[in-house]
Chain A
Amino acid sequence: MKNMLRILVLSLIAFGAVAQTPASSASTRTAPITNSDLKNIDIPKADARAKGDPDGSLTGTAADVSVADSKKGMTIGDVVNQVGQNKVAINFVWTLVAGFLVMFMQAGFAIVETGLCRAKNANHTMMMNFMVYGVGMLAYWLIGFGLQMGGVGGIANLGGAVPLSSEFTINLFGKPFGLFGQHGLFLTQGGTYDVAVMVVFLFQMVFMDTALTIVTGSAAERWKYAAFVASSFIMGAFTYPLFANWAWGGGWLANLGANFGLGKGYCDFAGSGVVHAVGGLSALALAIIVGPRLGKFNRDGKPNAIIGHDIVLVLTGCFILAFGWFGFNPGSTLGASGNGSLRIGSIAVNTMLAGMAGSFGAMFYMWTRYGKPDASMTGNGLLAGLVAITAPSGFVNSISSVIIGLVAGVLVCLSVEFVERKMKVDDPVGAISVHGANGIWGVISVGLFADGKSNYGGSWNGVTGSVTGLFYGDAGQLVAQLIGVCTLIGFVFVLSFALNLAIDAIIGQRVSAKAELEGLDLPEMGALGYPEFELKPGAVRA
């Protein structure tokens, strides 16, 4: 019996080998296709199409290839052009849909922040999260996009985006240092009325708005609305685009590899640093300037927990954000076809794994330390894992993703405790810890965990090869990442702090104590968030 089975298996293997042989030899004998071959291709007849196409076999055939000259008929040139357009079309659609997902994250942020704040500030918190979208977009359209992407110098997956080709550069230490872009103001200047540029704008705009909306969380429940508008406009026009240019727009950080041999330069695949750390550090600057909410700290400095009004909103918002993150990270390939873009599957899986690990890390930390699996911190753990994996998502494997997410989940809890108990900074939603601390952790983790297996067109930031971290043999990558972290803390934080100090001097950042105690809905917005509810005072727990 055993012998019979062996013979059967060997026969099947032999048959398989024989069956494969003609196919492989046929592929070596392929003759070049000529224009005359194209004329013999069967296309569905009109009467067949008129009967409908329930199985889809008649739709999308040679009849759908655009022909440049109808007298000549279809040529090789027509086919090749169609292939090129299909590739760019796939990438346009992919990038736009990813951008739409990221745009919807605004809704997630809005309800997370509102749920973590008290009911008396619901209208004010929602309105900040709602209008940060418009204020940021206006600033970015007018100024920010040009500064950030005006000199990026071409994006192959999107057909070039060639007009974005003018970077302001200075020479230091004998090397060029890109500082800001010069094309793209109003999406017209410098020839930027261009289909690919529009795709880049939409995708980058929603990223910028994510950074801006982080700040509204740390300053919630005491931020003057007019100051919020001014601060968000300046951040969307200058603070965010400057760092984003240095990292993504062809600026000096990205070129640390090409100019100084530091790995592949500063690498931030989808923005742990560019989006989240910039937002988180600006949130820290704001929280220091506006000061803590009344009742947050006792006279001896002991903190009180000020409970949010709706944990259902908080966790629903976290899920919406996790959903949107599938646009954030996989979308950052700016395509699904060409230049290694098929890695989108790996990036999406890394994203969901890190989020999962983050929620576990935070839940078990809180459970062990305080006896209960705190819901809001578990939600923040999910977000922390997602923030941390944002930079490395395109460069690491699934095991590293889980480690990065797990560390993030614990780190967010430690950071919340440090910010509240040691720094005595009041951050109602944990934005500084979720986005600032874990944004920085994400940037560093690229320098540690990047496995050198990714291949996005053979190079990254103009340096041949794959991004490789310290654990896989390239210490230079870690140095590049750390220089990025120093730039975030030492430049972005300082710039953000100085600009918001100026706004404080001109407009004033903080509402009056009377307005704060009453709740900001009526004094600042003129209407209550929940007009039919009677709100109880004193939702402060020692």
Chain B
Amino acid sequence: MIDVLNRLGFEDVRILERFDSFRATTKEATARKYGVHGANIFARKP
């Protein structure tokens, strides 16, 4: 994601926070298998 946003010309691209959003859901095991998590991402258009 960071690479994609940088490639598009965004500046100051940052992942600010991660969340274990699928904890205690029926898809928790799948999320763990693929390393799926929620994230807060910031970017600025030049």
Tell me if chain B binds chain A: no
